[in-house]
Amino acid sequence: NAGVTQTPKFQVLKTGQSMTLQCAQDMNHEYMSWYRQDPGMGLRLIHYSVGAGITDQGEVPNGYNVSRSTTEDFPLRLLSAAPSQTSVYFCASSYYKSGGLGEQYFGPGTRLTVT
Amino acid sequence: AQTVTQSQPEMSVQEAETVTLSCTYDTSESDYYLFWYKQPPSRQMILVIRQEAYKQQNATENRFSVNFQKAAKSFSLKISDSQLGDAAMYFCAYTGAGSYQLTFGKGTKLSVIP
């Protein structure tokens, strides 16, 4: 099993450009999520999905779009990149057991710089 | 909204010694789950330990154990016999039973001194 994969590992964008961060998992997890990690801020939830066709907002959703057409894939789109979106982005997946989230499996992260 | 507080931005420990990282959380829920994650310099997030709030017994995983004080809303991580490979950022996290959201603290950077 590859687990959770993310591409690219590094990306530099100019302000106003758009791009998609890719995330895929091969563990048949229902739940997938995107976080951003900024220095001194921990990880903050951007968007999450509990299954194909079902997405919802997390703590910091502005400027990001998601969709989930398959169980395996959960891409994150930046429509018009801003310097405030410079961050490290993590994708994670887990089972959703009765009563709560299971162990989150994280991808290796994408370091995004917006100039 | 739930909040998770890690009051120690940085800590250090001598190799082979014991260190405790603190975490407090704020919630009105009675059923929830708490986690400690480790992030080494490689950036990969790794689950260290998971605690279910309805279980009185503190979770342990080899050299890692927690002190879960539900009434005090405290969830500290004890690392025994510290090793150089334990040097990392450690994040405490909370999710309510039935919730789809995981809330992280800001992290504690642990250094291990040889």
SS3 per-residue string spanning A48-69:
EEEECCEEEECCCCCCEEECCC
Highest average pLDDT, of A94-98, A101-105, B100-104, comes from B100-104
Residues 1 through 30 of chain A touching chain B, CB cutoff 8 Å: none
Q: Which run of H or of E encompasses A19? A: strand A19-25
What distance in Å separates residue B114's CA from the closest CA in chain A?
Answer: 26
The mean-pLDDT minimum among A23-32, A93-102, B43-52, B69-78 falls in A93-102
Which tokens sit at A88?
């490290």
Is A87 a residue whose pLDDT tops 70? Answer: yes
Residue A99 has pLDDT above 90, yes or no: no
Which chain B residue's Cα is nearest to A50?
B100
Q: The dihedral of CA A47, A104, A90, A40: what is its sign?
A: positive
Question: Which tens digits make up the pLDDT trace of A42-79?
Answer: 999 999 999 999 999 999 999 999 999 999 999 999 99
Exposed, middle or buried: residue B109 (CB in 10 Å: 0-12, 13-18, 19+)? middle
CA dist., res. A85 & res. A94, Å (int): 25
| Residue contact A33–B102, C-beta within 8 A | yes
Burial zone of A15 (CB within 10 Å; 0-12 exposed, 13-18 middle, 19+ buried): exposed
Q: How far is B10 from chain A (nearest CA, A)?
A: 11
Cβ–Cβ of B9/A90 closer than 8 Å?
no
**B68 token code pair:** 């879960």
The larger pLDDT score, comparing residue A15 to residue B29, is at A15
Which pLDDT tens digit goes with each residue over B53-98?
A: 988 889 888 999 999 999 999 999 999 999 999 999 999 999 998 8
Using one digit for the tens of pLDDT, what is the confidence trace for B14-34? 999 999 999 999 999 989 999
